[in-house]
Structure 1
């Protein structure tokens, strides 16, 4: 989840694609918050290892556009 921005979804999906090359953008869900200030993004991947999953988590939590990663 991050502040609503026109490039939020594309930017975050690009981060995921770097670490999960088989990531399918069409399986991504985007939801605005009730006030429209934040955007929730759900990405689905087939993790190949715990290390890959940890790397994705670290990349997302360290990204300046991301507020929360679950």
Structure 2
């Protein structure tokens, strides 16, 4: 039996979604904006969605960027998780 490989992404990839989960509050949204401006300038800020968890303790922030390659995606992930505000990046 062969191991199934994940699909390869062709770069640049338009409308690549990045979902960030963390504690609810203005700090999370601001952190996501700063990281995206640094690594994916020109993303559509108007397309960002923010959803609160059922109890309001957590939020998800979804941003769509033009992904230029794996190094960019790794840098975004590292900066977001290093902030201390982010629980998970999908």
- Whether these two folds match at TM > 0.5 is yes
| 3-state SS of 1:9 partner | helix
| Greater share of strand | 2
Query: Which runs of 5 or more structure 2 residues have no equivalent in the other structure?
Result: 1-20
Which structure is larger by alpha-carbon Rg, 1 or 2?
2
Q: Return the alpha-carbon distance in structure 2 between the equivalents of residues 26 and 50 of structure 1.
A: 25
Over the residues paired in the alignment, what is the CA RMSD in angstroms? 1.1
Equivalence for 1:14 = 34
Secondary structure of 2:88's aligned partner: coil
1:8-64 Cα shifts (integer Å, max 9, x gaps): 212211111111112221111100000000011111101112111111111112211
Spell out structure 1 runs of 4+ moving beyond 3 A: none
Distance 2:41 2:82 in 1: 20
Partner of 1:66: 86
Q: Number of residues paired by the alignment?
A: 70
- Structure 1: unaligned runs, 5 residues or longer: none
Whole-angstrom distance in 2 between the partners of 1:62 and 1:19: 15
Greater fraction helix: 1
**Which whole-Å CA distance do the structure 1 matches of 2:67 and 2:42 have between them?**
10
